[in-house]
Amino acid sequence: MITTDILIIGAGPTGLFTVFEAGLLKLRCHLIDALPQPGGQCSELYPKKPIYDIPGCPEILAGDLTKNLLKQSEQFQPTFTLGERADTLDKQEDGTFIVTTNKGTKHQAKIVVIAGGLGSFEPRKPPLENISDYEETGIDYFIKDPEKYRDKKVVLAGGGDSALDWSIFLADIASELTLVHRRNEFRGALDSVEKVRELTASGKIRVTTPAEVVGLEGDQKLTGINIKTADGIYTQSTDYFIPLFGLSPKLGPLTEWGLELEKNAIKVNTFDYQTNIPGVYAIGDINTYPGKLKLILCGFHEATLMCQSAFQIINPGKRNVLKYTTVSGIDGFDGSRKEAPKAVVQAINQ
Protein backbone atom coordinates (compact mmCIF):
# COMPACT_ATOMS: atom_id res chain seq x y z
CA MET A 1 0.00 0.00 0.00
CA ILE A 2 1.39 3.40 -1.03
CA THR A 3 0.43 6.13 1.44
CA THR A 4 0.74 9.89 1.00
CA ASP A 5 -0.90 13.17 1.98
CA ILE A 6 -2.18 14.09 -1.47
CA LEU A 7 -2.74 11.54 -4.24
CA ILE A 8 -2.67 13.19 -7.66
CA ILE A 9 -4.20 11.39 -10.62
CA GLY A 10 -2.46 12.78 -13.67
CA ALA A 11 1.20 13.81 -14.00
CA GLY A 12 0.75 16.56 -16.57
CA PRO A 13 1.77 20.20 -15.98
CA THR A 14 -1.08 20.90 -13.53
CA GLY A 15 -0.39 17.77 -11.52
CA LEU A 16 3.35 18.50 -11.40
CA PHE A 17 2.82 22.09 -10.26
CA THR A 18 0.52 20.79 -7.52
CA VAL A 19 3.55 19.00 -6.04
CA PHE A 20 5.35 22.33 -5.65
CA GLU A 21 2.39 24.15 -4.08
CA ALA A 22 1.73 21.23 -1.72
CA GLY A 23 5.41 21.07 -0.83
CA LEU A 24 5.36 24.68 0.35
CA LEU A 25 2.73 23.52 2.86
CA LYS A 26 4.83 20.49 3.88
CA LEU A 27 2.40 18.08 2.21
CA ARG A 28 3.75 15.04 0.38
CA CYS A 29 2.42 13.97 -3.01
CA HIS A 30 2.25 10.76 -5.02
CA LEU A 31 1.18 10.83 -8.68
CA ILE A 32 -0.52 8.18 -10.81
CA ASP A 33 -0.44 8.37 -14.60
CA ALA A 34 -1.36 5.90 -17.32
CA LEU A 35 1.50 7.17 -19.47
CA PRO A 36 5.02 5.75 -18.96
CA GLN A 37 6.57 9.14 -18.10
CA PRO A 38 5.49 12.40 -16.41
CA GLY A 39 4.32 15.33 -18.50
CA GLY A 40 0.94 14.22 -19.83
CA GLN A 41 0.13 15.38 -23.33
CA CYS A 42 3.10 17.76 -23.28
CA SER A 43 5.48 14.78 -23.17
CA GLU A 44 3.50 12.14 -25.02
CA LEU A 45 1.84 14.04 -27.85
CA TYR A 46 3.78 17.19 -28.63
CA PRO A 47 7.04 17.59 -26.67
CA LYS A 48 8.47 19.85 -29.37
CA LYS A 49 5.41 22.07 -29.68
CA PRO A 50 6.03 25.69 -28.64
CA ILE A 51 3.75 27.16 -25.95
CA TYR A 52 3.34 30.94 -25.78
CA ASP A 53 1.05 31.65 -22.82
CA ILE A 54 3.14 30.51 -19.83
CA PRO A 55 3.84 33.61 -17.68
CA GLY A 56 7.49 34.65 -17.85
CA CYS A 57 8.19 32.42 -20.87
CA PRO A 58 7.70 34.20 -24.22
CA GLU A 59 8.09 30.77 -25.84
CA ILE A 60 8.79 27.35 -24.35
CA LEU A 61 8.62 23.85 -25.80
CA ALA A 62 6.08 21.59 -24.15
CA GLY A 63 8.78 19.07 -23.28
CA ASP A 64 10.95 21.75 -21.70
CA LEU A 65 8.01 22.97 -19.62
CA THR A 66 7.69 19.44 -18.23
CA LYS A 67 11.41 19.31 -17.43
CA ASN A 68 11.22 22.66 -15.63
CA LEU A 69 8.19 21.60 -13.58
CA LEU A 70 9.91 18.35 -12.58
CA LYS A 71 13.01 20.28 -11.54
CA GLN A 72 10.90 22.76 -9.58
CA SER A 73 9.13 19.98 -7.67
CA GLU A 74 12.01 17.54 -7.13
CA GLN A 75 13.02 19.20 -3.82
CA PHE A 76 9.68 17.99 -2.42
CA GLN A 77 10.46 14.41 -3.43
CA PRO A 78 7.27 13.35 -5.24
CA THR A 79 6.80 9.64 -5.96
CA PHE A 80 5.12 8.12 -8.99
CA THR A 81 3.09 5.16 -10.20
CA LEU A 82 3.52 5.35 -13.99
CA GLY A 83 2.08 3.21 -16.74
CA GLU A 84 -0.98 2.41 -14.64
CA ARG A 85 -4.54 3.78 -14.80
CA ALA A 86 -6.49 4.76 -11.70
CA ASP A 87 -9.51 2.45 -11.77
CA THR A 88 -11.41 2.54 -8.48
CA LEU A 89 -11.98 5.00 -5.63
CA ASP A 90 -13.09 3.71 -2.22
CA LYS A 91 -13.68 5.87 0.84
CA GLN A 92 -12.63 4.33 4.16
CA GLU A 93 -14.22 4.65 7.60
CA ASP A 94 -11.35 6.86 8.77
CA GLY A 95 -12.09 9.36 5.98
CA THR A 96 -9.17 8.42 3.77
CA PHE A 97 -9.45 7.15 0.20
CA ILE A 98 -7.97 4.09 -1.44
CA VAL A 99 -7.35 4.31 -5.17
CA THR A 100 -6.54 1.07 -6.98
CA THR A 101 -5.01 0.96 -10.45
CA ASN A 102 -5.73 -1.41 -13.31
CA LYS A 103 -2.65 -3.39 -12.23
CA GLY A 104 -3.83 -3.72 -8.64
CA THR A 105 -1.54 -1.15 -7.04
CA LYS A 106 -3.28 0.42 -4.03
CA HIS A 107 -2.77 3.99 -2.85
CA GLN A 108 -4.14 5.61 0.33
CA ALA A 109 -4.48 9.34 1.00
CA LYS A 110 -6.65 11.86 2.80
CA ILE A 111 -6.90 13.95 -0.37
CA VAL A 112 -7.40 12.81 -3.96
CA VAL A 113 -6.76 15.32 -6.75
CA ILE A 114 -7.87 14.50 -10.27
CA ALA A 115 -5.60 16.37 -12.67
CA GLY A 116 -6.07 14.08 -15.64
CA GLY A 117 -6.21 16.71 -18.38
CA LEU A 118 -8.69 15.48 -20.95
CA GLY A 119 -8.76 12.04 -19.39
CA SER A 120 -7.83 9.19 -21.70
CA PHE A 121 -7.85 10.41 -25.26
CA GLU A 122 -7.82 9.38 -28.89
CA PRO A 123 -7.20 11.56 -31.94
CA ARG A 124 -10.21 12.65 -33.95
CA LYS A 125 -9.59 11.07 -37.33
CA PRO A 126 -11.01 12.34 -40.62
CA PRO A 127 -13.57 9.95 -42.16
CA LEU A 128 -11.29 8.56 -44.88
CA GLU A 129 -11.97 4.96 -45.81
CA ASN A 130 -8.34 3.80 -46.12
CA ILE A 131 -6.71 6.05 -43.53
CA SER A 132 -5.54 3.15 -41.37
CA ASP A 133 -3.49 1.83 -44.31
CA TYR A 134 -1.09 4.76 -43.99
CA GLU A 135 -0.92 5.31 -40.24
CA GLU A 136 2.64 4.00 -40.12
CA THR A 137 3.69 5.23 -43.54
CA GLY A 138 2.66 8.86 -43.94
CA ILE A 139 -0.25 9.62 -41.60
CA ASP A 140 0.54 11.18 -38.23
CA TYR A 141 -1.95 12.50 -35.68
CA PHE A 142 0.64 14.03 -33.35
CA ILE A 143 3.98 15.70 -33.92
CA LYS A 144 6.58 14.40 -31.48
CA ASP A 145 9.78 15.22 -33.39
CA PRO A 146 9.61 18.01 -35.99
CA GLU A 147 12.93 16.88 -37.48
CA LYS A 148 11.05 13.93 -38.95
CA TYR A 149 9.56 16.36 -41.47
CA ARG A 150 12.73 18.19 -42.46
CA ASP A 151 12.92 18.71 -46.22
CA LYS A 152 9.67 16.77 -46.68
CA LYS A 153 6.38 17.71 -48.31
CA VAL A 154 3.86 18.09 -45.50
CA VAL A 155 0.12 18.75 -45.47
CA LEU A 156 -1.58 19.81 -42.24
CA ALA A 157 -5.35 19.91 -41.81
CA GLY A 158 -7.25 21.83 -39.15
CA GLY A 159 -8.28 25.30 -38.10
CA GLY A 160 -7.43 25.52 -34.41
CA ASP A 161 -4.40 26.56 -32.39
CA SER A 162 -2.57 23.28 -32.88
CA ALA A 163 -2.79 23.44 -36.68
CA LEU A 164 -1.74 27.09 -36.73
CA ASP A 165 1.12 26.68 -34.25
CA TRP A 166 2.57 23.72 -36.08
CA SER A 167 2.22 25.47 -39.43
CA ILE A 168 4.32 28.32 -38.06
CA PHE A 169 6.87 25.96 -36.51
CA LEU A 170 7.25 23.70 -39.55
CA ALA A 171 7.42 26.53 -42.09
CA ASP A 172 11.23 26.56 -41.90
CA ILE A 173 11.58 22.78 -41.64
CA ALA A 174 9.42 21.24 -44.37
CA SER A 175 10.44 21.69 -47.99
CA GLU A 176 6.79 22.31 -48.86
CA LEU A 177 4.04 23.01 -46.33
CA THR A 178 0.30 23.18 -46.98
CA LEU A 179 -2.45 23.99 -44.48
CA VAL A 180 -5.94 22.79 -45.43
CA HIS A 181 -9.04 24.00 -43.60
CA ARG A 182 -12.70 23.57 -44.46
CA ARG A 183 -13.49 27.21 -43.65
CA ASN A 184 -11.89 30.51 -44.58
CA GLU A 185 -11.83 31.57 -40.93
CA PHE A 186 -9.55 29.99 -38.31
CA ARG A 187 -10.45 29.31 -34.68
CA GLY A 188 -6.98 29.89 -33.25
CA ALA A 189 -5.38 32.89 -31.57
CA LEU A 190 -5.45 36.05 -33.67
CA ASP A 191 -1.69 36.45 -33.39
CA SER A 192 -1.14 32.95 -34.79
CA VAL A 193 -3.59 33.62 -37.63
CA GLU A 194 -1.66 36.78 -38.52
CA LYS A 195 1.67 34.92 -38.49
CA VAL A 196 0.26 32.26 -40.82
CA ARG A 197 -0.95 34.98 -43.18
CA GLU A 198 2.50 36.57 -43.18
CA LEU A 199 4.17 33.23 -43.91
CA THR A 200 1.64 32.60 -46.67
CA ALA A 201 2.40 35.96 -48.23
CA SER A 202 6.13 35.20 -48.14
CA GLY A 203 5.61 31.81 -49.78
CA LYS A 204 6.59 29.72 -46.75
CA ILE A 205 3.10 28.21 -46.36
CA ARG A 206 0.37 27.37 -48.84
CA VAL A 207 -3.09 27.85 -47.29
CA THR A 208 -5.99 26.10 -49.04
CA THR A 209 -9.47 27.20 -47.86
CA PRO A 210 -12.29 26.36 -47.90
CA ALA A 211 -11.16 22.84 -48.66
CA GLU A 212 -11.18 19.30 -47.35
CA VAL A 213 -8.98 16.23 -47.77
CA VAL A 214 -11.26 13.54 -49.22
CA GLY A 215 -8.86 10.82 -50.34
CA LEU A 216 -5.43 9.28 -49.90
CA GLU A 217 -3.14 7.76 -52.52
CA GLY A 218 -0.07 5.56 -52.49
CA ASP A 219 1.08 1.95 -52.72
CA GLN A 220 1.89 0.94 -49.12
CA LYS A 221 3.31 4.43 -48.47
CA LEU A 222 1.41 7.73 -48.72
CA THR A 223 2.35 9.67 -51.84
CA GLY A 224 -0.57 12.01 -52.38
CA ILE A 225 -3.87 13.35 -51.10
CA ASN A 226 -7.09 14.35 -52.82
CA ILE A 227 -8.26 17.84 -51.89
CA LYS A 228 -11.80 19.01 -52.56
CA THR A 229 -12.44 22.70 -53.15
CA ALA A 230 -15.26 24.71 -54.69
CA ASP A 231 -13.60 24.16 -58.08
CA GLY A 232 -13.47 20.37 -57.79
CA ILE A 233 -11.08 17.68 -56.58
CA TYR A 234 -7.37 17.67 -57.31
CA THR A 235 -4.42 15.52 -56.20
CA GLN A 236 -1.40 16.95 -54.38
CA SER A 237 1.77 14.98 -53.80
CA THR A 238 2.95 14.74 -50.20
CA ASP A 239 5.20 12.76 -47.89
CA TYR A 240 3.11 13.29 -44.75
CA PHE A 241 -0.49 14.17 -43.99
CA ILE A 242 -1.14 15.37 -40.44
CA PRO A 243 -4.82 15.94 -39.54
CA LEU A 244 -4.96 18.03 -36.36
CA PHE A 245 -8.62 17.84 -35.39
CA GLY A 246 -8.10 17.60 -31.65
CA LEU A 247 -8.65 14.78 -29.22
CA SER A 248 -11.71 12.81 -28.29
CA PRO A 249 -11.61 12.80 -24.47
CA LYS A 250 -12.87 9.90 -22.40
CA LEU A 251 -13.06 9.91 -18.61
CA GLY A 252 -12.88 6.12 -18.49
CA PRO A 253 -13.27 4.55 -15.02
CA LEU A 254 -13.76 8.00 -13.42
CA THR A 255 -17.37 7.90 -14.59
CA GLU A 256 -18.01 5.14 -12.03
CA TRP A 257 -16.71 7.11 -9.03
CA GLY A 258 -19.93 8.96 -8.22
CA LEU A 259 -18.62 12.31 -9.42
CA GLU A 260 -21.01 14.93 -10.78
CA LEU A 261 -20.28 15.23 -14.49
CA GLU A 262 -21.18 17.69 -17.19
CA LYS A 263 -20.26 17.24 -20.87
CA ASN A 264 -17.47 14.79 -20.20
CA ALA A 265 -15.92 16.95 -17.46
CA ILE A 266 -16.05 16.95 -13.66
CA LYS A 267 -18.10 19.69 -12.00
CA VAL A 268 -16.34 21.59 -9.20
CA ASN A 269 -16.98 24.68 -7.10
CA THR A 270 -14.84 27.76 -7.69
CA PHE A 271 -13.86 28.25 -4.07
CA ASP A 272 -11.34 25.41 -3.89
CA TYR A 273 -12.18 23.21 -6.92
CA GLN A 274 -13.61 20.43 -4.78
CA THR A 275 -16.02 17.97 -6.40
CA ASN A 276 -19.33 16.76 -4.96
CA ILE A 277 -17.27 14.21 -2.99
CA PRO A 278 -15.59 15.97 -0.01
CA GLY A 279 -11.85 15.46 -0.13
CA VAL A 280 -11.80 14.81 -3.87
CA TYR A 281 -10.73 17.73 -6.07
CA ALA A 282 -10.50 18.17 -9.84
CA ILE A 283 -8.14 20.71 -11.40
CA GLY A 284 -6.98 21.55 -14.90
CA ASP A 285 -8.68 20.65 -18.16
CA ILE A 286 -10.66 17.79 -16.63
CA ASN A 287 -12.93 20.07 -14.57
CA THR A 288 -15.74 22.43 -15.47
CA TYR A 289 -17.42 25.45 -13.89
CA PRO A 290 -18.98 28.69 -15.16
CA GLY A 291 -16.36 30.64 -17.10
CA LYS A 292 -13.89 27.74 -17.27
CA LEU A 293 -10.92 28.23 -19.62
CA LYS A 294 -8.87 25.18 -20.59
CA LEU A 295 -5.44 26.77 -20.22
CA ILE A 296 -2.37 25.47 -18.41
CA LEU A 297 -2.03 28.70 -16.44
CA CYS A 298 -5.62 28.30 -15.18
CA GLY A 299 -4.71 24.82 -13.96
CA PHE A 300 -1.79 26.32 -12.02
CA HIS A 301 -4.16 28.78 -10.31
CA GLU A 302 -6.62 26.03 -9.44
CA ALA A 303 -3.82 23.87 -8.02
CA THR A 304 -2.73 26.70 -5.71
CA LEU A 305 -6.17 27.25 -4.18
CA MET A 306 -6.81 23.52 -3.97
CA CYS A 307 -3.67 22.97 -1.89
CA GLN A 308 -4.71 25.65 0.60
CA SER A 309 -8.04 23.87 1.07
CA ALA A 310 -6.40 20.44 1.30
CA PHE A 311 -4.11 21.72 4.06
CA GLN A 312 -7.15 22.46 6.25
CA ILE A 313 -8.56 18.96 5.73
CA ILE A 314 -5.24 17.28 6.50
CA ASN A 315 -4.50 19.63 9.44
CA PRO A 316 -7.89 20.48 10.98
CA GLY A 317 -7.73 23.53 13.24
CA LYS A 318 -4.16 24.38 12.25
CA ARG A 319 -3.72 27.90 10.95
CA ASN A 320 -1.75 28.31 7.77
CA VAL A 321 -0.11 31.70 7.30
CA LEU A 322 0.53 32.52 3.65
CA LYS A 323 4.22 33.31 3.16
CA TYR A 324 5.67 34.72 -0.03
CA THR A 325 8.59 32.65 -1.28
CA THR A 326 10.41 35.91 -2.07
CA VAL A 327 10.56 36.51 1.69
CA SER A 328 10.49 33.07 3.30
CA GLY A 329 12.54 31.09 0.79
CA ILE A 330 11.79 27.40 0.20
CA ASP A 331 12.46 24.47 2.51
CA GLY A 332 12.72 21.18 0.64
CA PHE A 333 11.87 17.80 2.15
CA ASP A 334 15.52 16.82 1.71
CA GLY A 335 16.58 19.44 4.25
CA SER A 336 17.85 21.89 1.67
CA ARG A 337 16.84 25.51 1.86
CA LYS A 338 16.77 28.19 -0.78
CA GLU A 339 16.98 31.60 0.83
CA ALA A 340 15.13 34.57 -0.57
CA PRO A 341 17.49 37.24 -1.95
CA LYS A 342 18.32 39.75 0.82
CA ALA A 343 17.67 42.72 -1.46
CA VAL A 344 14.13 41.46 -2.12
CA VAL A 345 13.44 40.93 1.60
CA GLN A 346 14.74 44.38 2.48
CA ALA A 347 12.69 46.04 -0.25
CA ILE A 348 9.47 44.31 0.92
CA ASN A 349 10.13 45.11 4.59
CA GLN A 350 10.68 48.82 3.91
Give the domain CATH number at 227: 3.50.50.60
Do 18 and 106 sit in the same domain of this protein? yes
Q: Which structural domain range is residue 267 located in?
A: 2-121+247-319
Mean pLDDT is lowest, of 109-123, 151-165, 230-244, for 109-123
Provide DSSP, 69-81.
HHHHHGGG--EEE
Do 115 and 6 sit in the same domain of this protein? yes
Give the model's pLDDT for residue 346: 46
Give the model's pLDDT for residue 347: 43
Give the model's pLDDT for residue 199: 97
Give the model's pLDDT for residue 66: 92
Nearby residues of 341 by Cβ (< 8 Å), 6 or more positions away: 326
How many domains does the chain contain in total? 2
Give the model's pLDDT for residue 97: 98
Mean pLDDT score, 39-66: 83
Do 149 and 211 sit in the same domain of this protein? yes
**Assigned domain for 326 exists:** no
**Residue 210's CB: how many other CB atoms inside 10 A?**
14
Q: How far apart are CA 214 and CA 221, in angstroms?
A: 17
Query: Is 60 exceeded by the pLDDT of residue 190?
Result: yes
Contact present, 31 and 80 (Cβ < 8 Å): yes
Query: Is 50 exceeded by the pLDDT of residue 348?
Result: no
Query: Is 90 exceeded by the pLDDT of residue 228?
Result: yes
Global pTM?
Answer: 0.67
Q: How far apart are CA 186 and CA 182, in angstroms?
A: 9
Coil, strand or helix at 102:
coil
Q: How far apart are CA 304 and CA 301, in angstroms?
A: 5
Overall size of the chain counted in residues = 350
Torsion angle of alpha carbons 149, 150, 152, 154, nearest 10°? 40
Buried-exposed string 110-148: b where 16+ CB fall within 10 A, e elsewhere: bbbbbbbbbbbbeeeebebeebebbeeebbbbbbeebee
Last residue of a domain, one of 243, 264, 280: 243
Q: How far apart are CA 251 and CA 275, in angstroms?
A: 15
Provide DSSP, 227-251.
EEETTEEEEEE-SEEEE---EEEE-
Q: Which amino acid is at 150?
A: R
**Assigned domain for 185 exists:** yes
Do 223 and 274 sit in the same domain of this protein? no
**Assigned domain for 350 exists:** no
Query: Is 50 exceeded by the pLDDT of residue 196?
Result: yes
Contact present, 126 and 214 (Cβ < 8 Å): no
